[in-house]
Amino acid sequence: MDTQVSSQPQKVAKRKIRVATTSLSGCFGCHMSLLDIDERILQLIEVVEFDRSPITDIKHCGPCDIGLIEGSVCNSENVHVLREFRENCNVLIAFGACAVAGGLPAQRNHLDIGDALREVYCDRAGLGKQIPNDRELPLLLDKVHPINEVVRVDYFIPGCPPSGDTIWKFVTDLIAGHMPRLEHPLLKFD
């Protein structure tokens, strides 16, 4: 990419790569880790611009080159957001243990969701006897799923969270047009 830029000096400003990010059912830890690339974010900003992302506060995703999804699919809103990303992003990346494999949210999968809601909203003192049913609230899926069980996913960055270095290596490889590769010690599931 660098070579491409240098071969056409200052003629046309190279279009920046448009990136969207979001967190479905996650803890935003992966986004925090993204910030762990520290000052390298300045290099990144040279070639990248952000569409929908917690960083920009843009609410809906437009056409993008890359979408980074943190978190697993736990409720109907997650499904809608994920579909929006899949429709708009050329390349979709599952980013972190929850998006890749279900992660901690999926540890509720052995519970019956009705029992869980009842225990939280009905069986506790002082909380009333009603499971919230406002139509504004997204409904919970009976099981939590990694995102590749809902849409086609192009790349996976495991880790809880993936380290800043891992994310940096992966994203810069991708932007440079290389097949991203993670090896020890960048490849971690925890």
Partner 1 sequence: MTHLTMSLVEIATPILERHKRDHTRLLQILHDIQDELDYISPETMEYLAHELEIPITQVQSVVEFYSFFHSKPHGKFRILFSDNITDRMLGNKDLFDHMLNRLHLTPDTVSEDGLVSVGMTSCTGMCDQGPALLINNMPITHLTPRRIDEICDLVKSGLPVNHWPSHYFKVDNNIRRADELLATAYNMGDAIKAAVAKGAQSMLDEMKRSNLRGRGGAGFTTGVKWELCRNAPSDERFIVCNADEGEPGTFKDRVLLQSFAGHVFEGMTIAGFTTGAKQGFVYLRAEYKYLVKSLQIFLDNMRAAGFLGKNILGIEGFDFDIDIHLGAGAYVCGEETALIESLEGKAGRPRIRPPFPVTCGYKNKPTVVNNVETLCKVTEIARRGGAWYEGRGTRQSTGTKLLSVSGDCARPGIYEFPFGVRISDVLEECGAKDVIAVQISGAAGVCLAPHEFHHRIAFEDVPTAGSFMIFGKDRDMFDVALNFAEFFAHESCGFCSPCRIGTSLVKDMMEKIAAGRGTKYEINEIQRLRDQMKNFAHCGLGQTAGNAICDCITKFRPAFDKHLSSRDFLPAFDLELSLARSREVTHRDDADAHLGAK
Partner 2 sequence: MSEIANTFTLDGQIVHFTPGQTILEAALEAGLYIPHLCFNPELKPHGSCKLCTVIVNGRSGSACTIKAMPGQEVQSSTPELDGRRRLQLQMIFVEGNHFCPGCEKSGNCKLQAVAYDLEMLNPHFPHFFPERPIDASHPDVMIDFNRCILCEQCVQTSRDVDGKNIFALAGRGMKSHLIINSPSGKLGDTDFALTDKAAHVCPVGAILEKRVGYAKPIGERIYDEKTIREQVAADAEGGL
Binding site for partner 1 (CB under 8 A): 76, 79, 112-114, 117-118, 131-133, 135, 138-143, 145, 149-152
Residue 189 binds which of partner 1, partner 2, none (CB < 5-8 A, kind-dependent): partner 2
Contact between 12 and 22 under an 8 Å Cβ cutoff? The reply is no
> Cβ 153 to partner 2, closest distance in Å?
8
Residue 162 binds which of partner 1, partner 2, none (CB < 5-8 A, kind-dependent): none
> Cβ 140 to partner 1, closest distance in Å?
5
Find tokens 């009603």 and name the residue.
Answer: 130
Alpha-carbon gap, residue 26 to 149, rounded angstroms = 16
Cβ-based neighbour number of residue 100 at 10 Å: 24
User: Which amino acid is residue 101, in one-letter code?
Assistant: A
Q: Two tokens at 175? A: 């932007």
Alpha-carbon gap, residue 28 to 34, rounded angstroms = 10
Q: What is the largest CA-CA distance in the chain?
A: 70
Residue 175 binds which of partner 1, partner 2, none (CB < 5-8 A, kind-dependent): none
> Cβ 82 to partner 1, closest distance in Å?
10
The smaller minimum CB distance to partner 2, of residues 47 and 186, is found at: 186
The smaller minimum CB distance to partner 1, of residues 113 and 186, is found at: 113
Alpha-carbon gap, residue 23 to 78, rounded angstroms = 9
Alpha-carbon gap, residue 44 to 168, rounded angstroms = 9
The smaller minimum CB distance to partner 2, of residues 156 and 168, is found at: 156
Q: Give the footprint of partner 2 on this chain (CB under 8 A).
A: 94, 97, 100-104, 106-107, 109-110, 143, 145-146, 148-149, 155-158, 160, 181-185, 187-190
